[in-house]
Amino acid sequence: MPPQSRNLCHVCHENESKYTCAKCRATVYCSVGCYKRHKESCGSTENPAVTREERQAVPSSSSDIAGEEETLDDPQQLRSLTSLNWPYVPEESAYPDPLKRDDPRPVQLHQYEAIGVSV
């Protein structure tokens, strides 16, 4: 499958584009020089994908946000600190460390016989 050819630079219309304008996301350019030329004429300071409804949904000032916080009807009920099991005590492992056990295994008959023969 052959590689896809890129669009031509929107500024110089000569080379393949390598970069996309971070402000308008519509213009592609090939070099720093083309970026500087585009930057002078780029009037977009926002992403064009943002719609007017989205802009209107965002409160315009911080005082609006503070007013909304005070009008909460159902504040979330907080849990008491005793439910955190503090101080933390680790639970016993399902597989205890055999080196930390203090219960010797009983000696089996064939082990007694091996001890008696070795003397």
Residue 71: what pLDDT?
Answer: 61
CA dihedral 51, 54, 59, 61 (to 10 degrees): -30
Residue 48: what pLDDT?
Answer: 46
Q: How many helices (H) and strands (E) does the chain have?
A: 4, 2
Residue 117: what pLDDT?
Answer: 85
Per-residue pLDDT of the chain (119 residues; tens, 9 = 90+): 566 777 888 889 888 888 888 888 788 889 989 888 888 888 765 444 444 455 555 555 555 555 555 666 677 888 787 777 777 777 777 887 878 877 777 888 998 899 888 76
- What is the rounded CA–CA span in Å between residue 14 and residue 10? 9
| Residue in this structure with the two tokens 């499958």, named with its chain if needed | 1
Distances in whole angstroms, Cα of residue 27 to Cα of each of 4, 32, 44, 54: 19, 13, 11, 23
DSSP annotation of 8: B
